[in-house]
Chain A
Amino acid sequence: EIVMTQSPATLSVSPGERATLSCRASQSVSSNLAWYQQKPGQAPRLLIYGASTRATGIPARFSGSGSGTEFTLTISSLQSEDFGVYFCQHYNTWPTWTFGQGTKVEIK
């Protein structure tokens, strides 16, 4: 089973600053990676798929990069509504998925 490891566990960022979240796979997942945002009491919201393609309606301040085992989600200028937990998910070993444990983004 491919293990997804996210870092840091918690990230405190001031509004307007850049936030950089990392996701590492225990073996290559090519570009078969998605990112989600989840707010308390809500379902996950798809942000990025294919490692770098923004989902419909996702603001341009969200960007994804990487391939193989190292991936990054960048929020270029953090807005107050961007707080929440961010999960990465690989889908390289179809049909099973594995999620990372999440990075909590706090507004400083």
Chain B
Amino acid sequence: EVQLVESGGGLIQPGGSLRLSCAASGLNVSSNYMAWVRQAPGRGLEWVSVIYITGLTYYADSVKGRFTTSRDNSKNTLYLQMDSLRAEDTAVYYCARVPSGDYGDYWGQGTLVTVSS
């Protein structure tokens, strides 16, 4: 059974940094496309980032230059390093397995990031 478990969310001041983790079981993050998607409170879904099997990463314009996606194959874990956080980054962050880089078929339960002073 595939399970994705996010952690690392919390309250952070504007300009601060936070690292989210997505621990996977039932699949290998190294041999799958993996994505981060966020959802601001009461709002819709926004794609944030994707990491390819090759390690290549892509980002939404809204986070480019501030967020970095990586993975640790030995821990079977995906990460999202978030720097220079802004109030508009406040959201629940989900990780998802992306079969061919296109849509998410397995999703974690999400972790809430609140950026506020």
- A interface residues (Cβ-Cβ under 8 A, vs B): 32, 34, 36, 42-46, 49, 55-56, 87, 89, 91, 94-102
Contacts and interface: CB of A to CB of B under 8 A. Distances in A.
A40 to B, nearest CB: 11
Contacts of A99: 44-47
B45 A89 contact: yes
Interface string B103-117: 111011110000000
Interface in B50-108: 50, 52, 58, 60, 94, 101-105, 107-108
A48 to B, nearest CB: 9
Contact of A43 (B35, B46, B103, B108): B108
B106 to A, nearest CB: 8
B110 A97 contact: no
| Chain B contact residues, majority secondary structure | loop
Contacts of B94: 43-44
B44 A100 contact: yes
Nearest to B48: A97
Select the residue from B35, B37, B104, B109 with max chain A CB neighbours within 10 A: B104
B104 A46 contact: yes
A98 B47 contact: yes
Nearest to B58: A95
A44 B58 contact: no
A89 B101 contact: no
Contacts of B50: 95
A101 B44 CA distance: 5
Given A49-B102, A94-B101, A43 B47 contact: no
A44 B104 contact: yes
21 contacts: A36-B104, A43-B94, A43-B109, A43-B110, A44-B37, A44-B94, A44-B107, A49-B103, A55-B105, A56-B105, A91-B101, A91-B103, A95-B50, A95-B58, A95-B101, A96-B58, A99-B44, A99-B45, A99-B47, A100-B44, A102-B44
